[in-house]
């Protein structure tokens, strides 16, 4: 039971670190991909920059989020889909919604949101007391994982079942590598952060 909790926490930690913009040296493409996660409440307040959404942008983003929320609920409650199929469809939904949301934000707003996430990166690194070596290893791990996933998702020769199997293997490998990089104390600290809602993927 305890081992399963550790595994789940490690996986959640990996997702949290990635979504929180762990690495300061992000490309413009990465920053743009992260920008859509801005919320109405965070639009006018920020750690570094202000996104400053217009009323129309807030409306558009809210509608997109609500639509994605409803679609995700349908997927989660589809009894015909396996757990792996649900995860794959949810990931596709998130990617599609992110692309739609990017069209709502201006380049300056995307930059401001990237700055906010860079500030969050610095705070999370400090709280978890990540060493330079750990940050380097995590950066390489996340980059490798993204490239592997992209290769699978864009494959034109693999069947959907084969893709699901490959994505599961990539996820399990990432989870094992995260557990090897981070200490139990760091995993516990992240768990406490989540309990206190101090660090949330959507900011």
- With 0.75 as the threshold, say if the pTM is over it: no
The whole-number pLDDT of residue 124 equals: 79
Q: pLDDT digits over 113-160, tens only? A: 788 878 877 887 888 888 999 989 989 998 999 899 888 888 889 887
* Rounded CA separation 137/144 (Å): 11
CB 51 within 8 A of CB 113: yes
* Rounded CA separation 60/136 (Å): 37
* Rounded CA separation 90/92 (Å): 5
* Rounded CA separation 62/193 (Å): 26
Contact partners, residue 175, CB within 8 Å, separation at least 6:
7, 10, 11, 14
Read off the pLDDT band of 4 (50, 70, 90).
low
């Amino acid at each position: 039971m305890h081992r399963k909790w550790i595994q789940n926490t490690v996986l959640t930690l990996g997702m949290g670190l990635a979504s929180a913009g762990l690495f300061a040296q992000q490309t413009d493409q990465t920053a743009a991909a992260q920008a859509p996660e801005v919320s109405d409440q965070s639009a006018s307040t920020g750690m570094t920059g202000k996104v400053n959404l217009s009323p129309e942008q807030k409306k558009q983003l809210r509608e997109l989020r609500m639509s994605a929320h409803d679609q995700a609920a349908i997927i989660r409650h589809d009894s015909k889909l396996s757990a792996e199929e649900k995860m794959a469809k949810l990931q596709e939904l998130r990617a599609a919604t992110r692309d739609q949301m990017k069209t709502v934000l201006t380049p300056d707003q995307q930059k401001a949101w990237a700055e906010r996430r860079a500030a969050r990166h610095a705070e999370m690194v400090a709280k978890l007391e990540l060493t330079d070596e750990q940050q380097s290893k995590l950066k390489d791990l996340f980059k490798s994982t993204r490239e592997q996933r992209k290769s699978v998702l864009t494959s034109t020769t693999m069947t959907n079942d084969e893709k699901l199997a490959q994505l599961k293997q990539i996820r399990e490998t990432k989870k094992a590598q995260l557990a090897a990089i981070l200490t139990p104390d760091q995993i516990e600290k992240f768990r406490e952060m989540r309990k206190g809602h101090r660090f949330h993927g959507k900011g």
